[in-house]
Structures are given as structure tokens and as C-alpha cells.
Amino acid sequence: MIPDPANFLRSLFDRAVEVADPMRSLAGFLPEKPTGRVLVIGAGKASARMAEAVEAAWGPCDGLVITRYGYGRPCKGIEIVEAAHPVPDQAGVDATQRMLGLLKDLTADDFVLALISGGASALLCAPAQGMTLAEKQQVNAALLASGAPIVAMNTVRKHLSQVKGGQLSAAAYPAKLLALMISDVPGDDPAFIGSGPTVGDAT
């Protein structure tokens, strides 16, 4: 019998968080920093920490990452913008539009690194054409209250967005794009992590 179950469970939790920390785990998945123009973008509750890890490996980079209020991290080049989660707000909409602006006019010689983690579905917010932010907020709140599994919720979110379901990758074309993700989705399907902004939608 475990003499102190609460302490044992806490130690397991702390170890899992430690192993998942991007400052420990991300560098092993990064290629050598490409020559030429490099742009780092991203969204999610862990995305600022991921950006911090990228700069620890590559040095200062250009780019913009959107994270939850209070989750910002110090970066030298990548701009960290905070916005609302789990229901999106205007700050997230504005930051997403700025991110899309950075992706304009990229060439095949450019390289985009996308950092996606849980929470990106709310933080990366560009309502579908004809949809208002208020309507998007209402739908999101209803999904959260529904008890639906995350895959079902993110399927709906993809179809109400101009950036999810692979549309962020499309905006970066013809630049090369590498997406690194930290999953909060059972099964770790990249098409549903953060509603799959860099993965084509098959739903």
C-alpha cells in the first residue's frame, strides 16, 4: 500500500508536467534554424512557453503568438499577445488578423513555424464570413456547456472559422510550414488539436 497516496499522485502529476514542459521537450523536434526569412506563429495556452523554447534554441525570431491572459512569457523577438480563453474576445480576433497579415506575401523561400497547443480553438479567432464575434461567443459558450467531446466541439469550430481546419496553412502558402503541437485531445489527432489550423479538414 502507498503510505501517502495524495503525495504520490502529486508527484506523478508534477513529473508529467515537467516532461511536457516545452523548455525540456521542444528542442528535440526542432530542425536546424533555416536560412532566410523565418516567421514563428502560434496559439494556445502553452504557445508562449513554446515560443520561449524556440528562441532558446534558435535565438530571437520574428513572429506572433497568442496565449491566454496571464500565460505570457518573455521572448526577445516573437511578440506574445494575450487574449481570452475558453470563450474568445476581441483581443484574440485582432491578434489573429495581425497574424494573417504577417503571412501575406510570403514566398517559397520563407519558413513558417507554427506552435499549436490546447486552447488555440478560442485564442486563434477569425469568425467565418458573415458571422460576428458575439455569435461566435454564443456558439462557443453553448458548446462548452453541452458536454460534447472535444473532437465534436472542434469539428463545429472548424466550420465557423477562417483559420481553422487547415486555413492557417493555406494563408502561409507558398512558404514552407512546420507545425509543432502539444495535444490536449484524446488520440492526439493533429486535425483536432486547436481545431487543426494547420491540418486540412476532412469533416
The per-residue pLDDT for range 112-151, each reduced to its tens digit, is 999 999 999 999 999 999 999 999 999 999 999 999 999 9
Q: What is the pLDDT of residue 19?
A: 84
CA 184 to chain centre: 11
Q: What is the pLDDT of residue 16?
A: 85
Q: Tell me the residue type at 180.
A: L
- Angle of helix 133-146 relative to helix 150-158, nearest 10 degrees, comes to 160
The domain spans of the chain are: 36-195
Q: What is the pLDDT of residue 70?
A: 97
Q: What is the pLDDT of residue 87?
A: 96
Q: What is the pLDDT of residue 199?
A: 97
Q: Which CATH superfamily is domain 36-195 in?
A: Glycerate kinase, MOFRL-like N-terminal domain (3.40.50.10180)
Residues of the chain where predicted confidence (pLDDT) is lower than 50 = none
How many CA atoms lie less than 13 Å away from 157 in the CB half-sphere? 34
Q: What is the pLDDT of residue 2?
A: 80
Query: Does the CA dihedral 164-170-173-177 come out positive or negative?
Result: positive
